[in-house]
């Protein structure tokens, strides 16, 4: 009976898409779903509105209220335009920047959005072709815009697209603007969307912004002399068919690296991502072709960026000369270790610097910062929170780097989102510095572990798609709150942090307040042996994530494999305790 009621509801919603407000192609697609005796697809496409969340939209492309299409994107843009006009009503001219990636329909969604903004009297700066997300963030600030959008689903599989909303500081929107925009988007009906653009208010931008952005990226180079000595460092890079091809090779060249090899099969712009299962540099499979090329030419480093070039993945040779992947936590460690160590060595520290990491990122970063007397701040997952820390200290303290375990890093403050363009160039500099000192990146990583302590991190993604999946994820969080684990892998839980209530409870049952700027649906468990487990539903994908960090003992670099294996065994025990 319940299923029949759901079918009735989605059928009524779908039939509204058979009106002249929707184009013939969309109507035909909806009619096909309505006529299909199997209502599974109809339910998935219409059981809800694709939620315009605090970061924008992300979903599978297709017809329906729960899919990415010109009508869902159009409603988001119309609602955003309405909010901008309310918020900046005293401005003579409101302006926005629009970027997009290589995905199928990204350019279409970007141009439709430009039309809608311009039809609402808003000036639009539209990139002439795909560009990295960080360049769009930079353009907002450089052009003095009040907002921006980027059409991308980041590292998601090929069937997805997305819509990221940015504010005038170049960061993704935070309170109160996120909720204000969501409210406006929720009011929009299809007949309210102004699809007929005003060409006089749309300005195409491109190469002029590229050069200014690349020049700015070059300013974060810490030791140009080491690059001059190691200009022939052998670098393999892949954009995974995405926007990185329009920025990263050029940036590496500007920094002085002369021996860059791009993976030719993946320097082809394609939203189908034909050479990978998923265009995610977190996945080993995505780096297969790059590592193959690296072996052929005996490269020093492999780097990959995701489709919108905000995340960076990497691989290097271990002590046996074998190519190994460096995970996001380790990459973040390498960045912050190098930045702090070499800024100090070259006298570039003035005493007011700070670094930022997210709450689910490795605690070894805290050890590096504390030992070097550098302020370290924890924030929520997502670079909008790192951007918030930059904004709060602007003109007072100097941000020198921040990152998260999911392969994102930002080394500068003129961009307010993670930036694979600058990260790749800085990563090459770190590799050059290591080589200049007779070391590999792998050996530098071992040096970090030996000085600051060894830990192993592992993330389990429990995927639960669709309506039933969303309900399961919600119930999993309820169960963890009501029946919190007392021990993990045999070690007593000493502290539980609940970011939804902003309360933390110690082993004795004492409850105290947590100081965070907002609530978030995240739970953390800390054990007696310094294991940390963080649990959070993904904000952009149909899954719940378990982030695990366990400590180990490393007496020498030669012991790494053994220490890593012992830590892996401990992680399996933690998983067993959690039942995942």
- Please identify every residue annotated as catalytic: 154
Which helix or strand (DSSP H or E) is residue 527 part of? strand 523-527
Q: Count Cβ neighbours within 10 Å for each residue of 305-321 and write b for 16 or more, e otherwise.
A: bbbbbbbbbbbbbbeee
Helix, strand or coil, per DSSP, at residue 206: coil
d(C-alpha 217, C-alpha 251), whole Å: 8
Two structure tokens written together for 327: 């995970």
CA atoms within 13 A on the CB side of 494: 8
Dihedral Cα 348, 351, 352, 356, nearest 10 deg: 70
Two structure tokens written together for 472: 């399961």
Two structure tokens written together for 507: 């082993």
Question: What is the DSSP code string of 460-485?
Answer: EEEE--HHHHHHHHHHHHHHHHHT--
Residue from 124, 106, 127 nearest 199 by CA: 124
Distances from the Cα of 335 to the Cαs of 320, 431, 479, in angstroms?
Answer: 23, 11, 37
d(C-alpha 259, C-alpha 395), whole Å: 38
Determine contact, residues 360/544, Cβ cutoff 8 Å: no
Q: Count Cβ neighbours within 10 Å for each residue of 411-428 and write b for 16 or more, e otherwise.
A: bbbbbbbbbbbbbbbbbb
d(C-alpha 91, C-alpha 75), whole Å: 23
Helix, strand or coil, per DSSP, at residue 552: strand
Residue 502, Cα to own-chain centre: how many angstroms? 24
Determine contact, residues 268/240, Cβ cutoff 8 Å: no
> 253: which residues sit within 8 A by CB, 6+ positions away?
260
Pairing, β 235-238 against β 260-262: parallel
For every residue of 220-248, which 3-state class applies, written as one string?
A: CCCCHHHHHHCCCCCEEEECCCCHHHHCH
d(C-alpha 264, C-alpha 254), whole Å: 21
Angle at the Cα of 352 (from 347 to 353), degrees rounded to 5?
75
Determine contact, residues 353/232, Cβ cutoff 8 Å: no
Phi-psi region of 99 (alpha: psi -120 to 50; beta: other; left: phi over 0): beta
Residue from 384, 471, 307, 361 nearest 53 by CA: 384
> 322: which residues sit within 8 A by CB, 6+ positions away?
none
Determine contact, residues 76/185, Cβ cutoff 8 Å: yes
């Amino acid at each position: 009976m319940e299923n029949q009621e759901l079918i009735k509801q989605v059928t009524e919603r779908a039939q509204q898409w058979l009106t002249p407000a929707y184009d013939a192609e969309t109507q035909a697609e909806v009619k096909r779903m309505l006529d299909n005796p199997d209502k599974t697809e109809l339910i998935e496409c219409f059981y809800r509105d694709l939620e315009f969340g605090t970061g924008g939209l992300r979903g599978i492309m297709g017809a329906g209220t729960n899919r990415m299409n010109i009508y869902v994107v159009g409603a988001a843009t119309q609602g955003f335009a309405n909010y901008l006009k309310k918020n900046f009503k005293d401005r003579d001219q409101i302006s926005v920047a629009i970027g997009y990636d290589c995905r199928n329909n990204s350019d279409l969604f970007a141009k439709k959005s430009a039309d809608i903004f311009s039809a609402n009297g808003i000036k639009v700066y539209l990139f002439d072709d795909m560009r990295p997300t960080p360049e769009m963030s930079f353009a907002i600030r450089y052009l003095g815009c009040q907002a921006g959008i980027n059409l991308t689903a980041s590292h998601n599989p090929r069937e997805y697209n997305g819509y990221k909303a940015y504010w005038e500081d170049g960061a993704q929107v935070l309170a109160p603007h996120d909720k204000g925009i969501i409210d406006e988007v929720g009011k929009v009906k299809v007949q309210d969307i102004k699809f007929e653009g005003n060409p006089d208010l749309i300005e195409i931008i491109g190469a002029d912004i590229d050069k200014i952005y690349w020049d700015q990226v070059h300013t974060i180079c810490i030791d140009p002399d080491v690059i001059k000595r190691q200009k022939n460092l052998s670098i393999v890079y892949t954009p995974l068919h995405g926007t990185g091809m329009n920025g990263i090779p050029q940036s590496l060249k500007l920094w002085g690296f002369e021996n860059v090899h791009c993976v030719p099969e993946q320097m082809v712009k394609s939203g189908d991502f034909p050479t990978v299962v998923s265009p995610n540099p977190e996945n080993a499979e995505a780096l297969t072709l790059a590592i193959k090329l690296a072996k052929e030419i005996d490269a020093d480093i492999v780097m990959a960026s995701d489709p919108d070039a905000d995340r960076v993945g990497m691989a290097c040779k271990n002590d046996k000369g074998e190519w190994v992947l460096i995970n996001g936590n380790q990459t973040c460690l390498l960045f912050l270790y190098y930045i702090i160590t070499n800024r100090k060595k070259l006298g570039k520290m003035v005493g007011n610097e700070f670094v930022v990491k997210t709450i689910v990122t490795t605690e070894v970063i805290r050890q590096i910062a504390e030992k070097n007397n550098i302020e370290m701040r924890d924030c929520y997952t997502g670079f909008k929170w790192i951007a918030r820390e930059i904004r709060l200290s602007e003109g007072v303290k100097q941000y020198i780097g921040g990152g998260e375990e999911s392969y994102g890093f930002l080394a500068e403050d003129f961009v307010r989102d993670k930036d694979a363009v600058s990260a790749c160039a800085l990563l090459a500099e770190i590799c050059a510095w290591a080589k200049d000192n007779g070391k590999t990146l792998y050996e530098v990583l071992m040096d970090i572990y030996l000085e600051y302590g060894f830990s192993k991190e592992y993330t389990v993604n429990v995927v639960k798609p669709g309506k039933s999946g969303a309900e399961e994820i919600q119930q999993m969080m309820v169960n963890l709150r009501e029946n919190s684990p007392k021990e993990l892998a045999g070690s007593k839980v000493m502290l539980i942090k609940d970011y939804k209530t902003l309360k933390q409870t110690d082993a004795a049952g004492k409850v105290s307040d947590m100081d965070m700027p907002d609530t978030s649906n995240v739970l953390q468990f800390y054990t007696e042996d310094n294991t940390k487990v963080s649990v959070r539903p993904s904000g952009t994908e149909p899954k719940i994530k378990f982030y695990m960090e366990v400590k180990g003992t490393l007496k020498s670099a030669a012991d790494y494999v053994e220490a890593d294996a012992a830590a892996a065994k401990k992680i399996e025990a933690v998983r067993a305790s959690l039942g995942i």
